[in-house]
Amino acid sequence: MNIIKNLNIQLSNPETKDFLADAYYPEAKTKLPLVIFVHGYKGYKDWGAWSLMAEKFAEAGFFFVKFNFSHNGTTLSNPTGFDDLEAFGNNNYSKELSDVDFVVNHFVKDPKVDDQKIILIGHSRGGGISIIKTCEDIRINGLITLASVDHLERFPKEEAFENWKNEGVYYVENARTKQQMPHFYQFYEDFASDPHRFDVERSMEMAKAHVLIVHGTSDEGVSVKNAEHLHILHPNSELFLIDNGNHVFGAKEPWEEKELPEDLNTVVQKCITFINDKIVNA
């Protein structure tokens, strides 16, 4: 099967700023289901094994898209490095939801895409964003969360919060790059301006899509209890746990192997089966 890779497509969202996306798809005579991958906090589209994952979805007959959030800290010239920490500090949930909407609207117009079959796959914080987007957009009929958070109210507490408010910024070290990643106080102000919209629990309860919740039982970043909670909120969802799986299902940055890590391969195969059973062949 011939897989086409259209990499680093420049998208111009007037509500945020330009960012890059990749599209992977097979040569096909029929229209393809659109699968959009939403990366998480301190993530980017080319992290680790995400490109190998994209190839697997394309080989399975999907039009797979992954993209960099406009304010994730990467740049058009360097999509794999956090060269724009000012943008990172000015990121917020409104901008991320705007970017997801822009990506959906852009690729759903592609003549190779079946606009009746749209699936979001969100990892970590991207899972929370994907849940909200699915609740807001009736076009999305499939939602898969990978190691997702169950809420977005993830801010400093008490004295640290007061310091943030007074100083206007707090920093989190990137364990891999050792960069001090800024978070400007506007991040909280954006959340506080519309907490109802950013309520992941409410969105999960109201989502009208087929839902698969995937999580590793040894996730060191987001507890598996988040997945169990999401499953309770959406009883018709399917919960799929990876025994001893970590937050990135065995992947790392950089990923230099030619095959997916075992856990992530299991996740991808499960996702493909779920989409086929619930959406493509339903």
| pLDDT band with cut points at 50, 70 and 90 for residue 282 | confident
* pLDDT band, residue 130 (cuts 50/70/90): very high
Q: What is the pLDDT of residue 76?
A: 98
Please state, in angstroms and rounded to a whole number, the distance separating the CA atoms of residues 82 and 75.
8
Q: Give the residue among 59, 62, 58 at the shortest CA–CA distance from 31.
A: 62
pLDDT in tens, 204-225: 999 999 999 999 999 999 999 9
Residue 196 DSSP code: T
List, for residues 42-54, the tens digit of each pLDDT value: 999 999 999 999 9
Q: How high does pLDDT run on average in the chain?
A: 98
pTM over 0.85: yes
Number of helices and strands in the chain (H, E): 9, 10
pLDDT, residue 47, reads 98
pLDDT above 70 coverage of the chain, percent: 100
pLDDT digits (tens, 9 = 90+) for 138-185: 999 999 999 999 999 999 999 999 999 999 999 999 999 999 999 999
pLDDT over threshold 90, residue 109: yes
pLDDT digits over 53-102, tens only? 999 999 999 999 999 999 999 999 999 999 999 999 999 999 999 999 99
User: Cα-Cα-Cα-Cα dihedral of 28, 29, 30, 32, to 10°?
Assistant: 20
Collect contacts of 82-87 with beta carbons under 8 A, ≥24 apart: 82/42, 82/174, 82/177, 82/179, 82/181, 85/179, 85/181, 85/182, 86/182, 87/17
The Cα–Cα gap between 183 and 265 comes to 34
Scan for tokens 């919960």, then name that residue: 239
How would CATH label the architecture of 3-153+198-280?
3-Layer(aba) Sandwich (3.40)
**What is the DSSP code string of 209-230?**
SEEEEEEETT-SSS-HHHHHHH
Q: How confident is the model at residue 1 (pLDDT cuts 50, 70, 90)?
A: confident
